[in-house]
């Protein structure tokens, strides 16, 4: 009888709410297995390629010709381990944007013609006089190209 109580107590200690919650998140090995043979190539993020192997090959169609980062079952070379994965996508800008463009204390202005006069306009369509050294606020540029001189400056 005492032995049965001991087993009950140890079982109760093991099934606390925290351990019960952890047990509900356990994934079986069958659920994590892929239903097809995976490509044996290593991707740029140093993980295994998730695509299906080509017929009779160890690699997918994309890695048959070139496997830049090697096989997943081989050790990673020191030069590839040191390579950082790029975080940006797309083409690199030909002209880098100056950091002052994003600074709220600095106004980037473009010359335009509104109401027949040469003025400077910022990214919020605020219109300033064409004085490069000390521009004076004149109003807001309308879609029609006119200047609304009664409006307060926009900030966003």
The one-digit pLDDT tens for each residue of the chain (156 residues) are 555 555 554 444 444 454 444 454 555 555 556 678 899 999 888 889 999 999 999 999 999 988 888 888 888 877 777 777 666 777 877 888 888 777 878 878 899 998 888 999 988 899 999 988 889 999 999 988 899 888 888 876
Q: Tell me: do 144 and 114 sit in the same domain.
A: yes
Residue 121 within any structural domain of the chain: yes
Q: Tell me: do 106 and 63 sit in the same domain.
A: no
Q: How many domains does the chain have?
A: 2
Give the pLDDT confidence score for residue 86 in this predicted structure: 63
Residue 124 within any structural domain of the chain: yes
Domain that holds residue 40: 34-85
d(CA 37, CA 60): 10
- Pairing verdict, β 137-141 and 147-148: antiparallel
Q: With CA atoms as reference, report the closest residue to 140 among 128, 132, 130, 108.
A: 128
d(CA 84, CA 45): 9
Q: Tell me: do 43 and 73 sit in the same domain.
A: yes
Residue 63 within any structural domain of the chain: yes
| Residue 142 neighbours by CB under 8 Å, 6+ apart | 148
Residue 106 within any structural domain of the chain: yes
Residue 22 within any structural domain of the chain: no
Residue 16 within any structural domain of the chain: no
Residue 103 within any structural domain of the chain: yes
Residue 39 near residue 60 (C-beta atoms within 8 A):
yes
Residue 68 near residue 96 (C-beta atoms within 8 A):
no
Give the pLDDT confidence score for residue 22 in this predicted structure: 46
Give the pLDDT confidence score for residue 11 in this predicted structure: 46
């Amino acid at each position: 009888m005492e032995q049965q109580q001991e087993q009950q107590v140890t079982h109760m200690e093991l099934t606390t709410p925290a351990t019960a919650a952890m047990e509900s998140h356990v994934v079986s090995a069958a659920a994590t297995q892929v239903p097809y043979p995976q490509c044996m190539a290593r991707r740029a993020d140093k993980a295994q390629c998730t695509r299906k192997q080509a017929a009779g090959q160890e690699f997918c169609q994309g890695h048959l010709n070139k496997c830049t980062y090697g096989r997943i079952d081989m050790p990673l070379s020191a030069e590839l381990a040191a390579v950082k994965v790029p975080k940006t996508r797309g083409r690199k800008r030909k002209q880098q944007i100056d950091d002052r463009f994003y600074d709220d204390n600095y106004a980037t202005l473009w010359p335009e013609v509104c109401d027949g006069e040469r003025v400077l306009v910022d990214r919020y369509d605020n219109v300033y006089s064409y004085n490069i050294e000390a521009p004076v606020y004149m109003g807001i540029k309308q879609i029609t190209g006119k200047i609304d001189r009664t409006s307060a400056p926009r900030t966003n």
